[in-house]
Structure formats: structure tokens, C-alpha cells
Amino acid sequence: MEGKKILDVKIEMDRPSCQLKGELGEVTMIPFGGTVQGEIFQGIVEPCGVDTQVLNQAGVRHMSARYMLTGKDSEGKEAHIYVENNGWFEEGRFSMPFRTVPTFYTDSQVLADYLHRNQFIGEGNAEEDGLHICFYEITH
């Protein structure tokens, strides 16, 4: 991936998911927690995160993961980052790594101007220790 890596989120899925199958498609909700490392922030993924995957009749899967990070910003101050991370895939064409579009909200004064610009891309990859979602600043 080109660009500067800003965060590496290690996903921990230790609770059962739930699923609905109907005539319009399928919905799967996957709860998760985890940890996060990076130059700008270090902490945890609160255990209330959920990845909601909707497969429609056309065979397009929309993934929307929403979760809260709690930890310390680059100045060592307590902070939170809310992440909404979206990706779309044609059924049967999912590959690793996969790309996503994140949106961030934060209460950190030092990170707000940076994270609220929406100039980032996500990349998910299966690594030896589990699923990692890395966020990169888009460079022009």
C-alpha cells in the first residue's frame, strides 16, 4: 500500500456472530474488539465493535464496521476515535488484502484536524496473529 500508515488495528473476534437469510439477501453481524497501534494513537478497540455485512440480491456485499478506539493520542492524552469503515465486494471476488473507505471522529484536539479530513484508505489483511485493518493517509 502506498501512503503513510497511521493506524494498525488488530481485530479479535471472540463472540458468536448472528445471521439473517431472507428473500432479499443476507445480513451477518460480527462483534469484535481488539487493539490499535500507531504513531498518532495507541489503545484498544472497545468490545462493542460490530462488522455488519449485507449481501444483496445482485451479489454485492457491503461491509460496514463501526467501532470505538480508546487510548492515548500522540501527545499522551486520553482520547477516543470512532471509526466507520466501509467496503463493497462482488460475491466470490473477495480477496486479501481488501480495501475500505474509513471515516473518523475524535475528541482529541491534536488529532481532530488531521483525522476529520477524510483522506484515508483502509486495507484488511490476514496475518499470522489474526486480521489486521491498517489505515493509510492518501498521498497525492
Residue numbers of the chain with a pLDDT score lower than 50? none
Question: In the prediction, which pLDDT does 2 show?
Answer: 67
Question: In the prediction, which pLDDT does 6 show?
Answer: 96
Question: In the prediction, which pLDDT does 95 show?
Answer: 74
- Name the nearest CA neighbour of 85 among 60, 68, 107: 68
Report the alpha-carbon distance of residue 42 to residue 25 in Å, rounded: 38
Annotation: CATH topology of 4-137: Porin (2.40.160)
Question: In the prediction, which pLDDT does 139 show?
Answer: 79
- Give residue limits of the domains in the chain: 4-137
How far is the CA of 81 from the CAs of 42, 62, 71, in angstroms?
11, 22, 9
Question: What is the residue type of 71?
Answer: G
Per-residue pLDDT of 55-95, as tens digits, reads 999 989 999 999 999 999 999 999 999 999 999 988 777 67
C-alpha cell at 98: 481488501
Question: In the prediction, which pLDDT does 126 show?
Answer: 86
Report the alpha-carbon distance of residue 22 to residue 8 in Å, rounded: 35
